[in-house]
Structure 1
């Protein structure tokens, strides 16, 4: 019976790795949105398709200037390919907000060790800080929406 579990687990892990692979290219470390979009067309396409409703745009405009969003993600990860372009579209509305994009390898690490320092276990993880203090995280997918979850952290 244990052999079947081991085979099943191995097959699941292999499927997961294959499903998240992206042409063998994996960005690691700090990256900007221009580099991301030029090197990873899936992210660019999802960014072009992302839309914010008028109420969401108004909420984002009301966020405080001292808000920062640090995005830990994998170019190899389908959750990142779905959520990161949406976050970049949101942040494009407020270029005055501080943000950082950190691409992680399949082990969810980066050369500077920032992901380990932040305790990142899943991608994407959006760490939201205000005045340098963490006020919340969105891990893998938002509960309501990216805008809604951040606004809830801010109690807007």
Structure 2
């Protein structure tokens, strides 16, 4: 009976994850913003709805040019669908900042092994670095907001 329950719960979880994938498409590996927004309507719609306050705009403009943001996310992940468009809108304000979008499968992996190397366990995970040194990570959702959390990393 215990095995039947385990199999049933596993099947239900798998079905839920697959049902959350956009048209069964799951991006895996490096992807750019234009591709993501063109191919995944949930991300595109959320991106169009993002609005930053004047205070947030001012904070982002003060970030150093050498700041780097690596985003590990899943196109199937509701947290990613909520947070990644916000980060993309922020990064669009500062195109000189270095950024990478790395899409992961439901096992939180991708062919080049970058997620494994970075110890990624949850999506999205935003890894913030400056001059090759990791300042901090935002995992699944920010403490305050993406802008406030990154600004706090920079101040700390």
Q: Same fold by TM (over 0.5)? A: yes
The number of equivalent residue pairs is 156
3-state DSSP class of the match of 2:52? Answer: coil
3-state DSSP class of the match of 2:111? Answer: coil
State the 4+ residue runs in structure 1 displaced beyond 6 angstroms: none
Aligned position for 1:119 = 119
Aligned position for 1:46 = 46
Aligned position for 1:89 = 89
CA deviations on 1:8-64 (whole Å, 9 max, x unpaired) are 743662464145322110111111000111111111111010010000000000001
3-state DSSP class of the match of 2:123? Answer: coil
Q: Distance in 1 between matches of 2:8 and 2:85?
A: 33
C-alpha displacement of 1:144 = 0.5
- Where do 5+ consecutive residues of structure 1 fail to align? none
Moved more, 104-113 or 16-25: 16-25
Q: After the TM superposition, which residues 125-136 of structure 1 pair with which residues of structure 2 at under 5 Å, given as runs?
A: 125-136=125-136
Give the TM-score, by structure 1 length: 0.92
Root-mean-square deviation over aligned CA pairs: 1.8
Aligned position for 2:66 = 66
Aligned position for 2:20 = 20
